[in-house]
A and B are shown apart, each in its own frame.
Chain A
C-alpha cells in the first residue's frame, strides 16, 4: 500500500529537486554532444581525428593520469599514516605546514616549479608532467583522516604477531583503506586528466602533449573562427575515460567521501 503522508510528500519534492539539479548539471553535456553532431553527422569526429594526433594525446594523458594517480596514492598513504600513527617531534607543525600549502593557489607555485623543472632538465618530458603532481597535500590530509579512524586493535594485533611499522602499514592498514584510496585515486586521476595550465607550460611538442592541451590547439586566434563542432567532439572524446573511471569507482568513492564526515 502506498503511503500518502507528509513523509512521502517530502520524498516526492526532494526527488523533484534532485531531478532538476540533475537536468541542470547534465544540460552542458547534452549541449556539448549535440553540437558535436551537426545535423546528425559524425563529420566533426572525422575532422577531429584528421586534424589532431588524438591517439597520441590520449595515450599521453592516460600515462600521465595513471602514473600520477599511483604516485599520489602511495606517497599520500605513507605520509597520511605517518601523521596519524607515528610520534615524532614537530609532527603537528609539519602537518600544519602541509595544510597551509592547500591555501596557496597552484598558479603561485607555477613559476618556481617551472624554474625547478628547468634546473632538472625536465622541461618537455613526462617527468615534468608526472612528478610534481604526485605530491598532494589534500591526499595526505584525506589519508590521515582515514587512518585516524582506523581501529588500533588491528595494528596492535599485527605488532604482537611481530610486524614492523612498515609491514603493519603495508599489509594491514593500506589494504583496509580501500575506500579512501579509491576516493583519492578518482580525485587524482580526474585532476591529472583535466590538468591544462601546467602541461601547457612545460610541454612544447606534440610527443608529450596531453589531451586538454592538444584540444586547445583547435582554438583559433579569434572566437569567431573556431570550429565549434570539432572542439565539442574533442571535449566529448576527452571526458569518456573520466566517466568510465568514476562509474567503476563510484561506490568506493562515496564510502571514502563519507569517511571524513565523522570522527570517532
Chain B
C-alpha cells in the first residue's frame, strides 16, 4: 500500500510536470490586470492567417487577461481600413505597409512608437533591447513618417519584414546555352547580352519559344529600380515635384520599355497572356525573372530545375531596388494601448520572427533573425545565397510615400501602361503623368 501511494504521488507530480509543459506559463508580472480584447487586422493567405492564429494561442496563454480578436481582411484591405478609420473603428493593432503608412499616420491615427522597447523573450526574463541595432535601419526608416504636428519624423509602426527585388535564374537554361552565371555586380549591358542569348526563337517566327527575362509590367515596384539605378527618382527630395522627366529617369524608363519592345528579351503582353510570371518561369518559358522573396516557397515546391538568385544588374548609378516594409502600428484611439504594445512586443520577438522567416515568404526586419539559420537555411533553396536578399537592403531605396498615396499609387501603376504596351513614347507618357500628379503635390 505505501508503495502504491508513493507511486500515485510520483505519477501525480509527473502529470503536473507534463501538463505544465504543454503550454507556456502565464507571465506573472503581466501589466494588464483586467480582461481586454484587442482587435488585430492582417491581410494574407491561409498560411499566414494560420501562423498568426498559432501565435495568438501562445500569447493568450502568456497573458490570460488579453484576448486577441484576429480581423483577417483577405481583400481590399486598405479600402476597409479607410472605412474603419473614418468610423473611429480602427483596430487596436494594424498591420500596415510603409507605402500606406503616411495616409493614416499623417492624420495622427497611430501611436508614436519611438520609445518602444523590445523584449528579448516572451517571458520578460531577458533585458529590454533597443530598436536600432535590432532592425535594419532601412526597415525602421520605412516605418517613419515625416509628417506630424511638430514636423519631426515619428516611428509610426514596428517593422515586421522588408520587401525588395532580386533576379531569379534558371541555371539549367544557362547551361543549355553554355553561359556562365553572371557575377553579383553585373550590369545592364550584361543583362542585354545574356538576355539575347537566352531568348530562343528556333522557328524564326518572331515569337520566341524562350525569353531571357520577365517581370510584371505596371507596378512601380518593378520599373522604379531602373529609374533609381540610372540615377533618377520619381519625386524631388522635398517631395514637391515629380521628377520623372530628368535625363537620368528617362534613361531608366527607356531601358525598361526597351526590354520588351526594342530588345524583345521579355515577353510582351500579348505573348504572356494571362499567365503569371512565376508560371512562365516554372515552365521554363523565361530563363530569368525579377521578383521578390514571396516567390521562394512556390519555387521550392514546384521548380523541377536548379535555380538561384542574383541582385538586379547595375545601371550607371549602381543597382538599386525599392525597400518597403510591413509593420505593426498601434491605433492612437485604442483604449488598451499598453496591452496592444505587449502584443506588438511579442510579435516582434525573435521567436515569432523566426517562425515567420521559416515560412520562406518574407525577409525578416530583425537583423539577428535575417542572419540566422531561420532565414539562411542551407537545407532549403536558395540556401546561403538567400544572403542576396539581405545584401540589397543596404543599397536599397526606402520607398517614398505621400499622404495622398492612394491616388499616386493608382497613377504610378496605370499611368505608364500605354508606354509599357509600346503604344506611347516614354516622353509623352511622362508628360501626361506629370500633368496628372503635379497638382497633388502642390496642394498644401
Contact = CB atoms under 8 A, between A and B. Distances in A.
Interface of A: 51-52, 110-111, 114-115, 118, 123, 197, 200-201, 204-205, 213, 216-226
Interface in B38-78: 39, 43-49, 69, 71-76
A32 B167 CA distance: 32
Interface stretch (B79-87, B105-113, B228-236): B79-87
Contact of B294 (A110, A115, A219, A222): A222
B164 interface: no
A204 B71 contact: yes
B68 to A, nearest CB: 13
Given A200-B73, A216-B74, A221 B83 contact: no
B291 A118 contact: no
B87 A224 contact: no
Nearest to B289: A224
Nearest to B82: A111
Given A200-B73, A220-B47, 8 more contacts: A51-B46, A52-B46, A110-B83, A115-B86, A115-B87, A204-B39, A224-B295, A226-B45
With most chain B CB atoms within 10 A of its CB, the pick from A197, A204, A205, A218 is A204
A243 B48 CA distance: 33
Contacts of A220: 44-48
A200 B72 contact: no
Contacts of B297: 225
A224 B299 CA distance: 10
Nearest to A50: B46
A224 B75 contact: no
User: Chain A contact residues: over half helix, strand or loop, or mixed?
Assistant: helix
The 10 closest A-B pairs by CB, nearest first: A220-B45, A224-B278, A216-B74, A217-B74, A216-B75, A222-B294, A118-B87, A221-B44, A51-B46, A204-B71
A205 B74 CA distance: 12
B276 interface: yes
B74 A224 contact: no
18 contacts: A51-B46, A111-B83, A114-B83, A197-B76, A200-B80, A201-B83, A204-B71, A217-B49, A218-B74, A220-B45, A221-B48, A221-B361, A222-B292, A224-B277, A224-B298, A225-B298, A225-B361, A226-B45
Nearest to A230: B46
Contacts of B48: 220-221
B76 A219 contact: no
Contacts of A205: 69
A4 B157 CA distance: 78
B89 interface: yes
**Interface residues of chain B: helix, strand, loop or mixed (majority):** mixed
Contacts of A197: 76
Contact of B76 (A114, A115, A200, A224): A200
A216 B86 CA distance: 24
Contact of B46 (A110, A123, A217): A217
B87 A221 contact: no
Nearest to B89: A118
B362 to A, nearest CB: 9
A54 to B, nearest CB: 13
Nearest to A204: B71
A72 B423 CA distance: 48
B298 A219 contact: no
Nearest to A225: B298
Contact of A217 (B72, B80, B89, B278): B72
B45 A219 contact: yes
Nearest to A221: B44
A51 B278 CA distance: 24
A216 to B, nearest CB: 4
A224 B298 CA distance: 8
Nearest to A51: B46
Given A224-B294, A225-B295, A218 B89 contact: no
Contacts of A221: 43-45, 48, 294, 361
A220 B48 CA distance: 8
